[in-house]
Structure 1
């Protein structure tokens, strides 16, 4: 497994050879002609669990790799969209923040395939149309295939300073934000999906976001929404006034 990410390198340095067991989801698998074998490369989307079944949550939090629970209580820094972009340009490491922004793009009434995706229940890889897992390292390859449908949205966040495009809003955070499950969403009429869209679209929201600098995408920044709710006007005024003074 290869990675040039500082957080991952620091984690690898704590492992014990032939003793530590890793479960890695969302790793890129390619054939290395030099070594004549398949190799795995992890990136900012990868989820690394050390010694599954032995309190992996503690390992994930200790090494600041992605964890299942949203660390909202530990996120206190407030940013405008411009400040999020600037920090991403100046700092190569992922960071967390709060932004009081408008959701300016939310395509809930587009094709269902653009809103809901199917992933392997065990490794979370996207599942192709033939409903089989293509992840060579999936821990369930020798078991009966199991898949789960989940929200996988791209939304834009905007404020008076600019727009952060194509932020990921995925399950289970999407269910909390939209107020419905995937099953309930698929049974909605087009009109009801549009009403749900406009309940959030262009409304000022309090958004917890993870920002990852990425040279692979046009904007250079990839955002993931960790939590989103309609913002309290008094709270918005307080924080925005403080930001304008800086």
Structure 2
């Protein structure tokens, strides 16, 4: 049968375990849980298999079929990061939700007293490269065609002008066309990359350039990166792009 590991507090893991124990045909067996809890946490019916940073090794070595995340006891950012670390492994993600009446699976809906949903219903899967490139390539071509005019305007107005700042970005459009950079994401030049597990690509325009502050803190940057990752779309890219161009061109140096 299929086996699963739970990621979250011991109390939530026990709640799921009891629901599965009372089910006539449970979809999987819960082998244990993973949590950042003190070692002196009272023992329950389920073994604590380790901390969240052990999850990838546990899934790989013990060949778990399912990973169930707690929706209440685990921040969404943590869930997203852990899912990203497991994307290359043959494992299904679920989330223990509070207000759903069923266990929703890929092929069937099983009645459980504790509700589960597919994790992707709460955390959408990453945007595909094809979808991103379908937006980026035509926009990058348009900006590349505009570059000679911006470069000429920059020579007239000086290196501190808005035209010069924008020309410094449009000059990077060949990197976008070659796939070396995304159009929107984070700028390596900022010196503040997002967590590596988030897999946010280096880009020409930084999502944080739409913030009202010119010098966002690391926490503000991560909040902006997380907002972008959880809502990626062509329309969001367009909004970030337009606002960034306006800020670059019209703001004072």
Q: TM-score, normalised by structure 2?
A: 0.26
Higher strand share: 1
Larger Rg: 2
Q: TM-score, normalised by structure 1?
A: 0.27
